[in-house]
Amino acid sequence: MLRMNSSELISALEWRYATKKFDPSKIIAPEIWKALEESLRLSPSSYGLQPWRFFVVENREVRKQLKVASWNQSQVTDASHYVVIAYQEAVGEADIRKFIETTASVRGVEPSTLDRYRNVIEGDLLTGTRSKEIVTWSQRQTYIAMGFVMLSAAMLGIDTCPMEGIEAHEYDRILGLSGSGFKTVAGVALGYRHDEDKYALAKKVRYPASEVIRHVK
Ligand SMILES: Cc1cc2nc3c(=O)[nH]c(=O)nc-3n(C[C@H](O)[C@H](O)[C@H](O)COP(=O)(O)O)c2cc1C
């Protein structure tokens, strides 16, 4: 398997920045876009439950409406692609059953061989302490996918901007999510930086490793 070396990784991480101004004339090629969608789908989640939906908003009119609901941030309409990330509001027995059955079928085993795993998940998410914080649990999973797609994009030379400066309720209304069991948590704009985006040259502001990384010996 081809892997980038550590200095290539660091340069991709340094190259990435939250793009404020996208070049609307530059569009991500379909095969690259497919890979970026896969980076969302292949993201890990707690127990593997994937409590999310990713809405790739292709409709220009809808993109315009979302921009208004995003403090008018131009990334929503100027970027090549715009993805709305939604989290699952509640997890029930049926979700866990679906996941166990999918796992059994993909891996060619009897669902009953996964009974212990099912019990652990149910004991945690349906009856345990986490059952009272499913919304935050679910939202946390979606941010992993957001990180995955941003890093994947950077490795492919695609710019991104994570977007939390949005009115999530308005997004839900515009996308017709009411009653779907999913709610908007954030957006991600993807495309190519505009030559005039001065933020591309701004130095990264990060606290030193000596402050944020602690080696516990
Ligand atoms: C969850 C999240 C939400 C963000 N929301 C916005 C946003 O709505 N608009 C924006 O321009 N930048 C947004 N940012 C970008 C951050 O301001 C930016 O990542 C941070 O200042 C660090 O800069 P850098 O990403 O360019 O290194 C967001 C970042 C994250 C991680």
Q: What is the pLDDT of residues 10-52, one digit of tens each?
A: 999 999 999 999 999 999 999 999 999 999 999 999 999 999 9
Q: Where are the domains of the chain?
A: 6-45+52-90+139-212
H helix runs in 52-183, sequence order = 60-68, 75-78, 93-107, 115-121, 134-155, 168-175
CB 85 within 8 A of CB 184: yes
Report the C-alpha gap between 198 and 205 in whole angstroms.
15
Instruction: State the distance from the centre of ligand 1 to the C-alpha of 103, rounded, in angstroms.
Output: 35
Ligand 1 mutation target, pool 161, 167, 203, 204, most atoms within 8 A of CB: 161
pLDDT tens per residue across span 82-115:
999 999 999 999 999 999 999 999 999 999 999 9
Per-residue model confidence (pLDDT) at position 122: 97
Q: Which CATH number describes the domain made up of 6-45+52-90+139-212?
A: 3.40.109.10
Q: Is the pLDDT of residue 3 over 90?
A: no
Asked whether the predicted pLDDT for residue 2 surpasses 80, the reply is: no
Query: What's the rounded mean pLDDT across residues 157-183?
Result: 98
Q: How much of the chain, in percent, has pLDDT values that exceed 90?
A: 98
The pLDDT, as a whole number, for residue 1 is: 72
pLDDT band at 191 (very low <50, low <70, confident <90, very high): very high
Q: What angle do CA 121, 135, 96 make, to 5 degrees?
A: 25
* Strand ranges inside the chain, DSSP E: 52-56, 81-88, 159-163, 182-191
**Which residue lies with its CA nearest to atom 7 of ligand 1?**
163
Q: Residue 198's pLDDT band (boundaries 50, 70, 90)?
A: very high
pLDDT of residue 75: 98
Return d(Cα 120, Cα 115) in angstroms, integer. 9
Ligand 1: lining residues by beta carbon, under 6 Å:
17-18, 20, 73, 161-165, 186, 204
Ligand 1 atom 14: residue of nearest CA: 162
Q: What is the pTM of this model?
A: 0.97
d(CA 182, CA 176) in angstroms, rounded, equals 10
Dist. CA 202 → ligand 1 center (Å): 14
Q: Note the pLDDT of residue 168.
A: 98
Token pair in block for residue 120: 């652990």
Ligand 1 atom 9 nearest Cα:
163
- In sequence order, the 6+-apart residues with CB closer than 8 A to the CB of 132 are none
Q: What is the pLDDT of residue 11?
A: 95
CB neighbours of 151 closer than 8 A, spacing ≥ 6? 12, 13, 16, 39
